[in-house]
Amino acid sequence: MSLLAQSSNKQLTSNGLPLLSLNGINYHIGPQCLVKNINIDIAINETVSLIGPNGAGKSTLVKLILGLITPTAGKIVAHQPLQLGYVPQRFTVPPILPLRVKDLLAQADKRRLTSEQRQFIFDNLSLNHLLSRQMLHLSGGETQRVLLARALLDKPNLLILDEPMQGLDPDTEVWLYQFIDELPDFLRCAMLVVSHDLHWVMKGSRRVICLNKHICCEGQPSELAITAEFQKLFGHHYEQPYVHQPHACEHHAPSEL
Ligand SMILES: Nc1ncnc2c1ncn2[C@@H]1O[C@H](COP(=O)(O)OP(=O)(O)OP(=O)(O)O)[C@@H](O)[C@H]1O
């Protein structure tokens, strides 16, 4: 293990580099600046939470990493071939398009996992009884489980989840967060999780990046919560780190709702 990996406790490529680097990224549409001067490294198997107010540029950053749009300035460099998995914020199927769950899942590359590993995903995401159902008719929670399965079946080395818990009931949300927090070794990958759920974001040990067009602050949750930038954006929702002073937090845990 390189000195850098030892000192930062991050898993790097054989060349001592992170999996992905965003270097000086700007994105403009005409005169409107959507994100500016973004510098982010994501290490192998590292989970990074991306938070920020509405319109902060989070989905724009996701689209840039997915290659759906091109930076106006700066570079995105993958230091290993990327296998991207993506769970979008919204997934709408046109009513005239018949698309069964098994049709969507069949698009994944079958060679990337063994049949036992694929079955693990189906079982743990409770998909077996949904396979013949139309995507159009699934509930929000069922849709998110199918989309997560679709992404995992490709065995990504970078999984991007753009507000994956939107519209889910508290129990499903807790269960799904736990599932991604405890992925088995054969599915372990780097993750970028866009979330408005400050409780989940701040209770973990994952690195948090707070975006408001530019990166306002970043670090471990306990470091972040005491920064002026974080307090300015989220202080009224999140007065103190949850672990230390839960009574000061207005954002209740799902189990408390
Ligand atoms: N194609 C576009 N043309 C013009 N403006 C856009 C376009 N896409 C996004 N925007 C604007 O850029 C800003 C950032 O949008 P983005 O969707 O990245 O924010 P976000 O942080 O994901 O927001 P939210 O938390 O509400 O999902 C918003 O003000 C949005 O209206």
* The token pair that represents 145 in the structure block: 């489980």
The predicted model gives 199-216 an average pLDDT of: 88
* Nearest CA-CA partner of 156 in 186, 127, 131: 186
| Pocket lining: 38 vs ligand 1, CB cutoff 6 Å | no
Looking at residue 83, its pLDDT comes to 95
The rounded Å distance from CA 28 to ligand 1 centre is 11
What is the value of pTM for the model shown? Answer: 0.86
Contact 184, 119 (CB under 8 A): no
| Pocket lining: 68 vs ligand 1, CB cutoff 6 Å | no
The rounded Å distance from CA 61 to ligand 1 centre is 10
Highest mean pLDDT of the ranges 64-78, 193-207, 229-243: 64-78
Return the best residue to mutate from 49, 58, 165 for the ligand 1 pocket (most ligand atoms within 8 A of CB). 58
> Which ipTM score applies to this complex?
0.97
Pick the atom of ligand 1 nearest to 211's CA: 21
| Pocket lining: 29 vs ligand 1, CB cutoff 6 Å | yes
Q: What is the CATH number of domain 3-82+159-165+192-256?
A: 3.40.50.300
Question: What DSSP character marks residue 205?
Answer: S
Please report, for the chain, the start and end positions of each structural domain, with discontinuous segments joined by +: 3-82+159-165+192-256
Looking at residue 236, its pLDDT comes to 64
Looking at residue 1, its pLDDT comes to 43
* Nearest CA-CA partner of 242 in 202, 196, 197: 202
Residue 5, C-beta contacts closer than 8 angstroms, at least 6 positions apart: 11, 12, 16
